[in-house]
Amino acid sequence: MQWKELERTARQIRLRDLEAVYAAGAGHIGGEMSAIDILTALYFHVLKIYPDDAKHPDRDRFVLSKGHTACALYVTLAKRGFFPEDEISTFLQPHSRLNGHPNCNKVPGVETNTGPLGHGLPVAIGIATAGKLSSAAYHTYVMTGDGEMQEGSNWEAIMAASQFQLNNLTLIIDHNRFQQGAALADTNNVAPLRPKLEAFGWEVTEINGNDMAEIVPALQHRGARPHCIVAHTNKGHGISFMQDRVDWHHKVPNKEQYELAVAELSEAL
């Protein structure tokens, strides 16, 4: 029943994300849908956070390195109480603080500005290193896309995390097999990811990243080394005609598609 409630929350977040992208006429809905189950598990079960005191020093840290999926993070943060849920309707509107990429200077709960791919993991390693140096109890999580793992800065950061034994760090790779314009396998195929991370001295867990029963235990794991979760997900998860379709990386549904998607997500609630 614990997982059922988280699954229901994830469906609610998917529906609100869909509504926001449709209303704004822009967004990155495919990668948002693949990541929402993990975001839900983090913010509604795993993270030690304080929505009324977003910068509480004891909070766990989460960095969304794949910053183009900001809308999913905004909806999750709002639902968790960091800011009013009705503000989601301002997504991408003039003067809104809910921009296309997260801004830590404007949005409560956002740890660092992200967007340029390959930056979030190095920043998260800095955060985790600071925690080690200050003997802080917080844990640092960071989510990247699998296409993003083609960036060399990530592999430099992975080496550093192993060197400094950052067992207070969890990397989540949203392995949905697609990136902008093509499948991962047709661009620069970094899969399989597990042996590469293990070769750099990381502990690696592979899971179904759209299954709460696998997501939550993986996120809660603590070991002696930095931990990577290779989360096998589906781009566009939860909406039948979007799932595993590369064109839904940043495509916006038309009215008919929107109504169909709303019906599918609402039926599951």
Q: What is the pLDDT of residues 86-135, one digit of tens each?
A: 999 999 999 999 999 999 999 999 999 998 899 999 999 999 999 999 99
Q: Which of 49, 72, 44, 204 is nearest to 140 (CA)?
A: 49
Average pLDDT, rounded, for the chain: 96
pLDDT in tens, 16-31: 999 999 999 999 999 9
In this prediction, residue 17 carries a pLDDT of: 98
- Structurally, the chain folds into a number of domains equal to 1
| Beta-sheet strands, E only, within 193-250 | 203-208, 227-232
Write out the residue range of the structural domain in which residue 59 sits: 2-267
Q: Which two tokens stand for residue 124?
A: 């998260």
In this prediction, residue 1 carries a pLDDT of: 53
Instruction: Please list the alpha-helical segments (H only) found in 42-86.
Output: 70-80
In this prediction, residue 44 carries a pLDDT of: 97
Q: Which two tokens stand for residue 42?
A: 């983090």
- The answer for residues whose C-beta is within 8 angstroms of residue 136's C-beta and 6 or more apart is 57, 58, 130
| One-letter amino acid of 137 | A
Whether the ω angle into residue 192 lies within 30 degrees of 0, i.e. cis, is yes
- Is residue 138 within 8 Å of 130, Cβ to Cβ? no
In angstroms, the Cα distances linking 60 to 43, 116, 142, 238 are 10, 23, 11, 28
In this prediction, residue 2 carries a pLDDT of: 77
In this prediction, residue 269 carries a pLDDT of: 76
Q: Which two tokens stand for residue 236?
A: 């566009």
Backbone angles phi, psi at 230, to 5 degrees: -90, 105
- Mark the ranges of the chain whose per-residue pLDDT is less than 50: none
In this prediction, residue 151 carries a pLDDT of: 96
Sheet holding 61-64, edge to edge: 61-64, 140-145, 169-175, 227-232, 203-208
In angstroms, the Cα distances linking 15 to 10, 61, 174, 234 are 9, 26, 20, 16
Q: What is the CATH number of the domain that holds 10?
A: 3.40.50.970
In the chain, the N- to C-terminal Cα span, in Å, equals: 15
Q: Give the DSSP H or E segment for 36.
A: helix 29-41
